[in-house]
């Protein structure tokens, strides 16, 4: 925080960072629409998505799904939201109706991407240059348990050091199968949502940063209007396909509130290394935002308006959390 205040003083504006990604609301401060933002992504890399507005009928939304040729299962999540709040895999129209009736907010419905791996890649590029840098790769290890041929799924969850921390969530997700007995050495994936709150483990994948990968993201950045800074969360089968840009799907773009999440791999990152990484990202954010402002006349959002948006986001987040209590 002291370094952020220093950069604000240097930029002579408290919310200088709001100019980093001109085509995303407030450069991605958490108040932006996920649906609107994902539409900036080239069709090749974006999943099919529809937006269910708070006051829309379920019939209207089902027609939208049919028009987009979107079939179950789907991923449902708040159009404005983060940290896995209310993100759920929806397997049928009945489940969808129940979900939409329970959560009276704007919801984005996205095709379920069956690729087996997920990661987050943090990229930054100064608007005056053709080449950027990848500063962080976070590999996501989904929560799994291994059968022993005698224990029920419920027993395996309770006996697993990590899974038992998410007992309530996993009982809800697997309530129909808790009494089933997985085969010996059978690996069961307990969650498909790549978030800490769903049991996913974040691993430092910075060893995968390469010139080829940065070239792929240079091209991607130029194909996404006004996106220069942030983390892209994506799914893939083989990392070589991400490196060459041949096959992966972007789940969402995270802007200025994005974190280099590899720092949460406590086995491969110390607290002070994490602080250093965050400082480096703030420096990059400053350079990108001030360049956009000075060279391309991108205005800084007024501090009053920005703070107002953050209060609105806080109230909205409290509303979402009440749904889960």
242 and 295 in a single domain? The answer is yes
169 and 230 in a single domain? The answer is no
Distances (CA, A) of 14 to 33, 124, 196, 302, 304: 24, 21, 31, 9, 10
134 and 274 in a single domain? The answer is yes
Q: Please, are residues 106 and 56 in contact by the beta-carbon 8 Å criterion?
A: no
Which is higher by pLDDT, 106 or 192? 106
Residue 69's CATH number:
3.30.1490.20
17 and 134 in a single domain? The answer is yes
Q: pLDDT tens, 277-319?
A: 999 999 999 999 999 999 999 999 999 999 999 999 999 888 8
Q: pLDDT tens, 21-43?
A: 999 999 999 999 999 999 999 99
Out of 78-87, 173-182, 246-255, pick the least confident.
78-87
Domain membership of residue 79 as a residue range: 48-112
176 has pLDDT over 80: yes
What is the predicted pLDDT for the residue at 194? 76
Q: pLDDT tens, 119-131?
A: 999 999 999 999 9
65 has pLDDT over 90: yes
Mean pLDDT, rounded, for 82-88: 82
267 and 177 in a single domain? The answer is no
119 and 238 in a single domain? The answer is yes
User: What is the average pLDDT score of the chain?
Assistant: 94
Number of structural domains in the chain? 3
Q: Can you spell out the DSSP letters for 49-84?
A: EEEE-TT--HHHHHHHHHHTT--SSEEEEESS--TT
- In percent, the amount of the chain with pLDDT more than 90 equals 87
105, HSE (Cβ side, Cα atoms, 13 Å): 21
Confidence of residue 269 (pLDDT cuts 50, 70, 90): confident
233 and 290 in a single domain? The answer is yes
Confidence of residue 325 (pLDDT cuts 50, 70, 90): low
233 and 87 in a single domain? The answer is no
Q: Give the sign of the dihedral formed by CA 24, CA 5, CA 12, CA 130.
A: negative
Strand partners, 231: 122, 254
119 and 217 in a single domain? The answer is yes
> Prior bond to 137 cis, omega within 30?
no
Confidence of residue 84 (pLDDT cuts 50, 70, 90): confident
175 and 294 in a single domain? The answer is no
245 has pLDDT over 70: yes
137 and 275 in a single domain? The answer is yes
What is the predicted pLDDT for the residue at 300? 97
Q: Please, are residues 136 and 142 in contact by the beta-carbon 8 Å criterion?
A: no
Q: What is the chain's alpha carbon radius of gyration, rounded to the nearest angstrom?
A: 21
Q: Please, are residues 321 and 39 in contact by the beta-carbon 8 Å criterion?
A: no
237 has pLDDT over 80: yes
Q: pLDDT tens, 189-205?
A: 998 877 877 789 999 99
What is the predicted pLDDT for the residue at 198? 77
169 and 211 in a single domain? The answer is no
> Which of 159, 190, 221 is the endpoint of a domain?
190
């Amino acid at each position: 925080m002291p370094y952020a205040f220093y950069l604000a003083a240097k930029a002579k504006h408290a919310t200088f960072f709001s100019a980093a990604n001109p085509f995303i609301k407030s450069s991605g401060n958490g108040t932006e629409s996920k649906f609107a933002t994902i539409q900036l992504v080239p069709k090749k890399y974006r999943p099919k998505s529809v937006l269910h507005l708070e006051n829309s009928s379920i019939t209207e939304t089902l027609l939208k799904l049919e028009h987009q040729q979107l079939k179950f299962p789907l991923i449902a999540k708040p159009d404005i939201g983060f940290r896995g709040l209310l993100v759920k895999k929806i397997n049928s129209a009945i489940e969808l109706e129940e979900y939409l009736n329970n959560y009276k907010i704007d919801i984005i419905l996205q095709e379920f991407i069956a690729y087996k791996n997920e990661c987050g890649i943090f990229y930054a590029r100064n608007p005056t240059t053709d080449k950027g840098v990848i500063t962080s790769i976070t590999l996501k290890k989904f929560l799994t348990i291994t059968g022993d041929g005698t224990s029920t799924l419920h027993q395996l969850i309770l006996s697993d050091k990590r899974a038992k921390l998410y007992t309530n969530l996993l009982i809800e997700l697997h309530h129909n199968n808790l009494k089933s007995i997985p085969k010996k050495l059978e690996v069961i994936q307990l969650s498909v949502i790549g978030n800490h709150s769903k049991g996913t483990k974040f691993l430092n994948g910075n060893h995968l940063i390469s010139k080829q990968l940065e070239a792929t993201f240079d091209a991607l950045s130029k194909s996404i209007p006004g996106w220069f800074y942030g983390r892209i969360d994506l799914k893939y089968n083989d990392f070589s396909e991400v490196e060459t840009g041949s096959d992966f799907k972007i789940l969402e773009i995270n802007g200025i509130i994005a974190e280099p999440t590899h720092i949460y791999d406590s086995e491969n990152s110390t607290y002070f290394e994490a602080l250093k990484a965050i400082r480096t990202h703030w420096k990059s954010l400053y350079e990108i935002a001030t360049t956009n402002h000075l060279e391309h006349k991108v205005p800084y959002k007024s501090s009053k308006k920005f703070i107002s948006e953050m209060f609105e986001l806080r109230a909205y987040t409290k509303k979402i959390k009440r749904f889960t209590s």
